[in-house]
Structure 1
């Protein structure tokens, strides 16, 4: 199989070079090599993300890769956690959500943050769309979010040079938003889906900021509820609904067994996230 693969790649190089000589073949080989490397990275990212969704810890993943838990998480967290929608369902990111995510990244950079936290996602949602209209209707302003976040989590640091990666909690909110969009028959993941996930996470920085500002999460949910159901599609009765994790919003069929509590359920992946979060030094971004 290795020889066949090498032969296939060599044929691809020769085809691209098209008889152009040694320099042309070298250029073609470099190009093909980079493409193969990118494909290998994408393959590994896909299955590491799948492993995380199944509940495997960074410690286990690092052990299989021959590195420490911290090294595995530092290298792959952002790569596997960035918004990658359910390939099998062809989900897309609504243009307005893309603009909001870009704004969130810029807010984190200006904030001097090492990661894009859920409070930065909340700021990003002020950019445009239904989520922005809902928040503005509840008298939430971007400058108030920034001031409240600074009082809760500390003042901004020096402005960063690049957009930082997502924190794990922010990545899980994005992942949960895609599942909510899919479960509700939406054509694309939109700002209301993400806002719904942010206000559902009682321990997240976004929810803590809203609580401090006196903004009721039930008011937000009531305002956005009508937007997260596709037109013409009725809600199923609660008794007919599949159980979902109360934190990442993934259905039991996708994450496996759920641990039940009073009106709450949690999957293995979220348990691992909680364990990793409590193991981190105080003050780490969420």
Structure 2
């Protein structure tokens, strides 16, 4: 008699669940992407190249990806600091501050854009003081970065926070006992443990910022060649009934985003593997 115990899965078998997964992914992701590239192909290769390499489109690409990259980097720094404060210190109204971190998730992006424009415009609460120093925020690329920082911060904080909560504090205390300075302890003990989560937060914030539209459209000013982002240009093409041109721009954004996210994920995987080996 075979003494092995057969463990039954709570969910259906592999074949059935795999089938559901493939159907779900196909309906929501693969088929829409297929038609996206198919629609972009209707203008022909020459029309496609002329559309995606026009001066206005290239300027919109550069602004969208550079602003998203800068905002994600800033969020990595300050998102880590916020997560550190929330996990390592006790202070009044801590739960309120912790809850406010998720506000960009629930706040409609248009409302966020209007609020940011009101604050950072020339006559805004903060913008008037920045203007006095010769710094213009609203209706400039700097305002776009501010908006993307606002919507991307929760991704970094909520990704890093659980890692800091689960970190072994005894390793830090041991490093201090052995004479390590605060900087050495951070660089050799804390940062390697947090780096994979920090890169994940960067990836999520960067991906979210690339496709952001609602909060940016109000604070950017939408000036072609200066403050016009790629999602806005796609909407402009759609309003002009240039569906093929809009899908061509969207297809290029999709490819560039996929390649950049793939590179980031590979670097994250290598960093995590190196940490496990070390």
Q: TM-score range by the shorter chain?
A: under 0.3
Larger radius of gyration: 2
Higher helix proportion (structure 1 or 2): 2
Higher strand proportion (structure 1 or 2): 1
TM-score, normalisation: structure 1:
0.25
